[in-house]
Chain A
Amino acid sequence: MLKPERMVKVSVVGPRDHFETVSDILYRLNLIHIEDPVEDEYFKLGEPFEKAGILSKSLVQLRSILSYLKLDPEKFVPKRRYREEEIKAELDRKLEEYRTEIGAKIDRIKELQEKIKALEDELKVIEPLKALGIPPRLLKGYKTIRAFVGFIRADPSPKIQSITSDFEVFLKDYGKEYVVAVFVKVEYAEEVYRVLQELGFREVSVPDIEDYDSRISEINSEISRLKEEIATLEKEIEDLKAREAELMLAIEEYLSMELEKSELPLKSLVSKYAFIIVGYIPARKFNEFKSAVESETGGKVTVEMIEDEEFEPPTKLNNPPGVRNFEILTLTYTTPKYHEIDPTAIMAIFFPIFFGAMLGDVGYGAIITVLCLFLKRIFKTEGWQRLLNIGVYAGIVSIFFGFIYGECFGPFVSVEEGKIEFFKHFLWPILHAIGVHKFEPVFDRVSPMGIKVLLFVTIVVGIFKILWGFILGFYTVLKEHGFKEAMLEKGCWILGVLGLACIIFGFAYNLGVFHYFFGVGPAEGSGIPPLPLPGVVKGWQQGLNFFYLAALPLILIWFVLFVMGEVPKMGAMGVILAVELLTWFGQIVSYARILAIGLSSVYIAFVMNFIGVGLIDPQGMCIPVLGVIVLIIGHLINLILGVLDPGLQSLRLHYVEFFTKFLEGGGVLYKPFGRIKKFLE
C-alpha cells in the first residue's frame, strides 16, 4: 500500500541459438517487463524470428474474419477452452477452411450487396421517368433532335424561349425538384444546355428498356431474390460462428501468442552470437525467475540483477483487494511513477466518505447500492466490475450519512405529536404506524446552525487534506533530493498553509464557532470584529486572538523559506509567485463543496416532495397519479444528478486539491512479457 511493488532491474544474456527457447520461457513466466533498448555499435535491435511473417499473415486474415463476425476476444466469454496441442494439430486445416468458407461467403455477400445497390440506383432513375410518363423509346435515339432528360430546379421554358421557339418541354413535380424532358433541335443543343445548367440541371441517362412498369417489377423481384441469397449466406455464416467461435478465438490467441514470442527480438539487442534482454521484475520473484530461466537452458543463459544509474522501473500498483478497485480512479488521473506515493489507499477511504457526505440519503444510497450490485452481474469486464464496486461502497456510505442527516428521498421532518407540518415526508405514515412519533436527525444539515457547522467542518477537512498532501510531497522530495530541497519546495508550503489555517480559525473563533463546539471564546453575536485589520476595522485590538498571533510567525517563516527557494530559480521576480498562497486558500475553501453540493440535492428533493405530496394529499389537490409521477421523475433526475455530481466533485477534490501536492505521475504501468490465457488451457 502507498508504494508500488518493489522492482529489480535484470538482464537476460545468452547465445543466439537459445533465443527462441528463452522467448518461450519468458513468455510462460509472464514476469519480465522489457525495456525498449538503445542500439550501440555492436548490439543492434534484433529481427523477429522467421515464423513471424507467416504468423502475421494468418493472423491478419483471421482477425479480418473475426471482425466481420463481430467476435471480440475482449468481450467474448468462452464456454470451453482448447489445449494447445489441439490447436496445433488443426491449425492449417482450420485456417484454410475459414479462408475458403467464410472468406468466400463474405465476398459473395459484398458482391450481392453491390448488385442490389446498382439495381436500386437504376430504380432511382426509372421511377422519376415513370412519373414523367413518356416511354423510354421516345426519350432518345433522335438524329436531328437533342433530348435532355433529368432533374431541374425550375421550369426552363421561358429561358429556352429566348433561344428558340422550336422546342418541347415536359415537366413534372418530383420531391423538391422537377423531372424534365426537353426536346430541341441539335443546333440549339449547346445553348439550351447552358441555360439548363444555370437552373441546376442534372442529366440522367435513359435506360434501354421497353416499359417502366415491367422493369420496375423485374428489379424488385431481383432485389428480393438477392436479399434472400444474402440471408441464406448470413445464416450459414451465423451457424458457423455459433459452432466455431471458441475455436476461432482460441486459434487467434494461439497465433497472437506465438507471434508475440517471435517478436521478442524487436525488444532486445543482438550481436552476431549473443542476445541481451533488459527489463524489470518484481523483487520478490527474482529468485524464482532466475532459477527457472537458468535451469531450463542448462545454464547457457544467465540472469543477472543490474545496479544501474538508470533505474526507472514500471509501476505495479500494490494494493489489498478492496482498495484495488480504486486503482482505476488513480490511473484515470495518472500512473504514479515508481518512486512516488500511490494514493489509491487514501482515496479508497476518502472518496466514499466525501461522496456519502454530499449525497447523504438513505433512499438514494440504497438505490445506488442495489443498482450497482445488479449491474455487476451484467457487465463482467474487469473495468466495469471495479467501477461498480466503488459504486457499492459509495452507496453504502451514503446510506450511513443518510441516517446521520436524517434523509430518505429528501429530508425527514421533525414531527411533534398531534402537529403535522404542511410538508409531510412520505415515509412518515409508516413511521407513524409503527409508533415513531418524534424523530430528529443526528445532525440536521439544512438548519442554519447545521450549515454553519458543516461549513466549518468541511473547511477543517480541507486544511487537513491539503496539509497531508504537502506532507506526502515533502516525503517524496525528501526521498529523492534530500532535506533542503524538500523543505524549500514543500516544507515552506506546509508552514504557509498552517498560517492560513490559523487565520481561518482566528476568524471562526471571533464568529463564535469555538464557543459553539467547545464552549470557549466569544459567543455568537458578541460584536467582536472577525477580521482584525489594523486601521481598517474599528476596535481591531479586540479581535486579535491566539490564532491570529500564531499565524504571524508562521507566515513570516513561510515567506522567508519561499524567497530562499524561489529567488535562485526564478530571479527577484519570483517573489510575485508568493500569491500562490491564495491558491491554497481557494483550495481549502473549495472543500465547502461537500456542503454545497449536498444542500442543492437536498433542496431539489425537498421541492419534489413538496409538490408531489401536495398533489397526493387528499385534503390538497388530490391528484395522486400526477403526484406519483412528479415524485418518480423528480427523484430520478435528482438521483442521476446525485450520482454524477458528488462522484465528480469527490473525485475532483482528490485530483485537484490533493494529488497535485505530491503526485507528478507519468509513470509506465507494469506490463510483463506474456499473457493470461483466455481461450486456451
Chain B
Amino acid sequence: MAEEAIARGLIAVGAGLAVGLAGIGAGLGESGIGAAAVGATAEDRGFFGLGILFTVIPETIVIFGLVIAFILMFAFH
C-alpha cells in the first residue's frame, strides 16, 4: 500500500517536472524570439501577427510536457 502511494507520488512529481521543465525551456526559447518580434513590430505594425506567432512557436515544448504528464498520470497509475 505504502509503496503504491509512493509510486503515485513519484508519478505526480514526474508529471510536474515534465510540465515545469518544459516551461522553462520554452521560456528561454521565447525570450530571443520575443525580443526580435517586438523589435520588428515596433518598426512595422504589419509584423504584429507574424511576430506573436513566431513567439509562441516554442510553446509546443510545453504541450509535449503536458502530454507526457497526461500519459504519466493516466497510463501508468
Contacts and interface: CB of A to CB of B under 8 A. Distances in A.
* In-complex A–B contact (CB below 8 Å): yes
Interface of A: 332-333, 448, 451-452, 455, 511, 530, 586, 589-590, 592-593, 596, 648-649, 651-652, 655-656
9 smallest CB-CB distances across A and B, nearest first, come from A332-B49, A593-B63, A596-B66, A592-B67, A590-B60, A648-B56, A589-B67, A592-B63, A596-B63
B50 interface: yes
B75 interface: yes
A365 B75 CA distance: 34
Contact of B56 (A452, A589, A652): A652
Contacts, number: 42
11 contacts: A332-B53, A448-B74, A452-B70, A452-B74, A455-B67, A530-B75, A589-B67, A593-B60, A593-B63, A596-B66, A651-B53
A475 B64 CA distance: 31
Contacts of A451: 70, 74
B52 A648 contact: yes
Contacts of B75: 511, 530
B57 interface: yes
B64 A586 contact: yes
Contacts of B67: 455, 589, 592, 596
Contacts of A590: 60, 63
A539 B56 CA distance: 42
A655 B53 contact: yes
A589 B75 CA distance: 16
Contacts of B60: 586, 590, 593
A530 B72 CA distance: 13
A511 B52 CA distance: 37
Interface in B25-68: 49-50, 52-53, 56-57, 59-60, 62-64, 66-67
A648 B53 CA distance: 6
Given A455-B70, A586-B64, A590-B63, 6 more contacts: A333-B50, A448-B74, A451-B70, A590-B60, A593-B63, A652-B57
Nearest to B55: A648
Secondary structure class of chain A's binding surface, majority of residues: helix
Contacts of B49: 332, 651
Given A593-B63, A596-B66, A652 B74 contact: no
A586 B74 CA distance: 20
A333 B51 CA distance: 11
Nearest to A600: B66
B63 A652 contact: no
A511 B57 CA distance: 30
Contacts of B62: 596
Contacts of A586: 60, 64
Contacts of A511: 75
Contacts of B56: 648-649, 652
Interface string B4-44: 00000000000000000000000000000000000000000
A589 B71 CA distance: 12
A656 B57 contact: yes
Given A452-B74, A511-B75, A589 B52 contact: no
Contacts of B57: 652, 656
A587 to B, nearest CB: 8
A589 B63 CA distance: 8
Contacts of B50: 332-333
Contacts of A333: 50
A332 B42 CA distance: 17
A649 B67 CA distance: 16
A589 B67 CA distance: 8
B64 A652 contact: no
Nearest to B46: A332
Given A451-B70, A452-B74, A530-B75, A589 B64 contact: yes
A504 B52 CA distance: 31
A651 B59 CA distance: 13
B46 to A, nearest CB: 8
Contacts of A589: 63-64, 67
Contacts of B66: 592, 596
A332 B53 CA distance: 10
A448 B49 CA distance: 35
Nearest to A333: B50
B58 to A, nearest CB: 11
- Of residues A333, A530, A589, which shows the largest number of chain B Cβ atoms within 10 Å of its Cβ? A589
A652 B60 CA distance: 10
Nearest to A332: B49
A542 B56 CA distance: 41
Nearest to A651: B53
Contacts of A656: 57
A518 B55 CA distance: 40
A507 to B, nearest CB: 9
Nearest to B19: A596
B7 to A, nearest CB: 15
Nearest to B56: A648
A643 to B, nearest CB: 12
A451 B73 CA distance: 11
Nearest to B68: A589
A651 B67 CA distance: 20
B14 to A, nearest CB: 17
Contacts of B74: 448, 451-452
A496 to B, nearest CB: 20
A332 B48 CA distance: 9
- Of residues B53, B63, B64, which shows the largest number of chain A Cβ atoms within 10 Å of its Cβ? B63
A386 to B, nearest CB: 13
A48 B11 CA distance: 76
A452 B63 CA distance: 15
Nearest to A655: B53
A593 B49 CA distance: 19
A589 B60 CA distance: 9
A312 B24 CA distance: 46
B54 to A, nearest CB: 9
Contacts of B52: 648
B2 to A, nearest CB: 22
B12 to A, nearest CB: 14
Nearest to B60: A590
B21 to A, nearest CB: 16
A355 to B, nearest CB: 15
A511 B74 CA distance: 10
Contacts of A649: 56, 59
